[in-house]
């Protein structure tokens, strides 16, 4: 019998890329390929790339160059670059790195089984679609508790710094029927948590069904213990959505609300469509309808033209909101975007200094928010082992905080009430609550 062929996938960037890699893995598994964690063993290596900032971009390219040497021992090895950098750089990639065999953009993955079966080389497919392209394909999931479900793709917002509309194309939403079918299949396989994904998840619209209608439909599916979603655009976080979240216990009370900047002037230059004041109103609305809801954010420092006074406005919004957590970035010019034509005039040292300041502030706020939970009982879904100590289990609260359980009396997949006893960094410690 022939030895089964093995595939290895390495994924960079956002959760959408993680979910796409699971869809690709599903196709390869159905074509009888086997997953491996060792690139040295693989017959097919795929690198799913991210172009949102220069850092991830560079890392993926250097990994691909490392994999080149594996071709010496295995001349049949196929090396594919997929994802957003593939979409952006297209033919140039193979011109500059002829050892890469195929380049596929995010809407071209259905071609993978055919390419690998026929050992095709020099394939470039970066056609973007106006409709959902992966309907009906069941992913091969990596997690045991959480199932990613992509409900929409693409973005029409064109924030001036962001490359996503160019690499992922226009917004399109998947049919309700196919979303429900995939969720039912995930529940039948034992998944308890569903995370809905989309570049602008709450811009979902399929015929008359809007995001809050879809949330309601999913919350009523039997066996769905928890629903999360990411990433929403603040402009689409409306009262209807918040009310559905309030009315269903199985919709997690956590909203990722990307601020980007606290300066109304910078926000206008970023084409973000809201002012500082309006952002604070969004937060008030969330806190009013969903008291205790976790709010996290994304912040960019050093956008073109950001003055010290603009930056102070960002710090001021952080102080007003006290986010539970934040992803913070230095502005990085991206090709094709409107901001790339503006002068990148904040010096690198200043960007680094501003980044340090937001990180330091966020640390204090995270601590403050986490400390306020000491002594409370949180419902936690156990989803893995602690990396530092395999005897400790980890899980997440409803508001998406990581909890480390010191004792070992819980199994992965258990839903338990945990008494929060302490905090460290972004995590909480706790013990099983015995009333
Ligand atoms: N530079 C820095 N950060 C960026 N992001 C997106 N584009 C850029 C860029 N050009 C950040 C935003 C976004 C997150 C996913 O990545 O904060 O919300
Ligand atoms: Fe990028 Fe803005 Fe679209 Fe988010 S909403 S993907 S930041 S263009």
* DSSP code per residue over 281-325: HHHHHHHHHSTT-EEEEEEEE--TT--HHHHHHHHHHHHHH--SE
Q: pLDDT tens, 389-410?
A: 888 899 999 999 999 998 767 8
What pLDDT does residue 114 have? 93
- Average pLDDT over the chain reads 94
Question: Which of 115-124, 125-134, 220-229, 426-435 is most confident?
Answer: 220-229
State if residue 230 touches ligand 1 by the CB under 6 angstroms criterion: no
- Distance CA(260)–CA(300), nearest Å, equals 5
* Residue from 197, 199, 230, 337 to probe ligand 2 pocket by mutation (most atoms less than 8 Å from CB): 199
**377-385 and 415-424 beta bridge pairing:** antiparallel
Mean pLDDT score, 253-282: 98
Q: Is the pLDDT of residue 177 over 80?
A: yes
Nearest protein Cα to ligand 1, atom 12: 298
223 forms beta bridges with none
With beta carbons less than 8 A apart as the criterion, state whether 48 and 25 touch: no
Q: Give residue 233 CA to ligand 2 midpoint distance, Å.
A: 8
What pLDDT does residue 60 have? 87
Which pLDDT band, with edges at 50, 70 and 90, does 55 fall under? confident
Q: Is the pLDDT of residue 267 over 80?
A: yes
User: DSSP class of residue 208?
Assistant: T
Q: In CATH, what number does 6-125 get?
A: 3.40.50.12160
Atom of ligand 2 nearest to the CA of 199: 6
Q: Is the pLDDT of residue 193 over 90?
A: yes
Pull the structure tokens for residue 45: 């290596």
- Distance CA(400)–CA(325), nearest Å, equals 10
Nearest protein Cα to ligand 2, atom 2: 159
Ligand nearest to the CA of 271: 2
What pLDDT does residue 396 have? 95
Q: Is the pLDDT of residue 68 over 70?
A: yes
Burial per residue of 45-80, b for 16 or more beta-carbon CB atoms within 10 angstroms, e otherwise: bbbbbbbbbeebbebbbebbeebeebeeeeeebbbb
Q: pLDDT tens, 358-383?
A: 999 999 999 999 999 999 999 999 99
What pLDDT does residue 1 have? 59
Mean pLDDT score, 313-325: 98
What pLDDT does residue 408 have? 66
> 207 burial class (0-12, 13-18, 19+ CB within 10 angstroms)?
exposed
With beta carbons less than 8 A apart as the criterion, state whether 110 and 90 touch: no
79 forms beta bridges with 45
- Distance CA(113)–CA(109), nearest Å, equals 9
Q: pLDDT tens, 231-253?
A: 999 999 999 999 999 999 999 99
State if residue 396 touches ligand 1 by the CB under 6 angstroms criterion: no
- Beta strands (DSSP E) in 317-408 are 325-330, 377-385, 393-397, 402-405
Ligand nearest to the CA of 152: 2
What pLDDT does residue 404 have? 94
User: Considering the entire predicted model, what is its pTM?
Assistant: 0.94
One fold for 6-125 and 377-432:
no
What pLDDT does residue 139 have? 94
What pLDDT does residue 137 have? 87
What pLDDT does residue 389 have? 84
Q: Which fold has domain 143-252?
A: Transcription Regulator spoIIAA (3.30.750)
Q: pLDDT tens, 103-144?
A: 999 999 999 999 999 888 888 999 998 887 888 889 999 888
SS3 370: helix
Q: Quick one: angle between helices 211-219 and 176-188, nearest 10?
A: 30
C-alpha of 6 from chain center: 27
Q: In CATH, what number does 254-369 get?
A: 3.30.750.200
Where are the domains positioned within the chain?
6-125, 143-252, 254-369, 377-432
Q: Residue 207: left if φ>0, alpha if ψ -120 to 50, beta else—which one?
A: left
- Distance CA(91)–CA(18), nearest Å, equals 24
The residue written with tokens 């069904």 in the block is 209
Q: Which fold has domain 377-432?
A: OB fold (Dihydrolipoamide Acetyltransferase, E2P) (2.40.50)
């Amino acid at each position: 019998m022939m030895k089964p062929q093995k595939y290895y996938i390495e994924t960079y960037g956002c959760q959408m890329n993680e979910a796409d890699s699971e869809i690709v893995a599903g196709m390869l598994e159905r074509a009888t390929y086997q997953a491996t964690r060792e690139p040295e063993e693989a017959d097919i290596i795929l690198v799913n790339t991210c172009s949102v900032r220069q850092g991830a971009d560079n890392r993926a390219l250097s990994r691909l160059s490392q994999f080149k040497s594996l071709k010496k021992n295995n001349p049949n090895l196929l090396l594919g670059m997929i994802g957003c950098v593939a979409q952006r750089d297209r033919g140039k990639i193979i011109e500059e790195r002829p050892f890469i065999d195929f380049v596929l953009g995010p809407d071209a993955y259905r071609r993978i089984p055919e390419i690998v079966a026929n050992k095709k080389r020099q394939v470039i497919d970066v056609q973007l679609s106006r409709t959902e392209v992966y309907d009906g394909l069941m992913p091969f999931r990596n997690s045991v508790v959480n199932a990613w479900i992509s409900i929409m793709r693409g973005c029409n917002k064109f924030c001036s710094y962001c490359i996503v509309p160019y690499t992922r194309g226009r917004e399109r939403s998947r049919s309700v029927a196919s979303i429900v079918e995939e969720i039912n299949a995930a529940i039948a396989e034992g998944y308890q948590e569903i995370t809905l994904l989309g570049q602008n998840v709450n811009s979902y619209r399929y015929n008359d069904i809007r995001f809050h209608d879809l949330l309601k439909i999913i919350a009523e599916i039997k066996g769905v213990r928890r629903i999360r979603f990411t990433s929403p655009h603040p402009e689409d976080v409306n009262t209807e959505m918040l009310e559905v979240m309030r009315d269903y216990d199985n919709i997690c009370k956590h909203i990722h609300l990307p601020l980007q900047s606290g300066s109304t002037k910078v926000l206008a230059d970023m084409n973000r469509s809201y002012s500082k004041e309006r952002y604070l109103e969004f937060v008030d609305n969330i806190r009013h309808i969903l008291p205790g809801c976790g709010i996290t954010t994304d912040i960019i420092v050093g956008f073109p033209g950001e003055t010290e006074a603009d930056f102070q406005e960002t710090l001021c919004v952080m102080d007003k909101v006290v986010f539970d957590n934040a992803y913070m970035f230095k502005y990085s010019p991206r090709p094709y975007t409107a901001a790339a034509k503006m002068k990148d005039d904040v010096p690198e040292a200043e960007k680094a200094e501003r980044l340090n300041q937001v990180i330091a502030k966020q640390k204090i706020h995270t601590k403050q928010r986490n400390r306020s939970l000491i002594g409370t009982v949180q419902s936690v879904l156990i989803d893995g082992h602690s990396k530092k100590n395999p005897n400790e289990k980890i899980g997440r609260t409803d508001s998406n905080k990581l909890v480390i359980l010191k004792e070992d009396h819980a199994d992965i997949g258990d839903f338990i009430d945990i008494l929060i006893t302490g905090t460290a960094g972004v995590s909480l410690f706790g013990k099983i609550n015995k009333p």
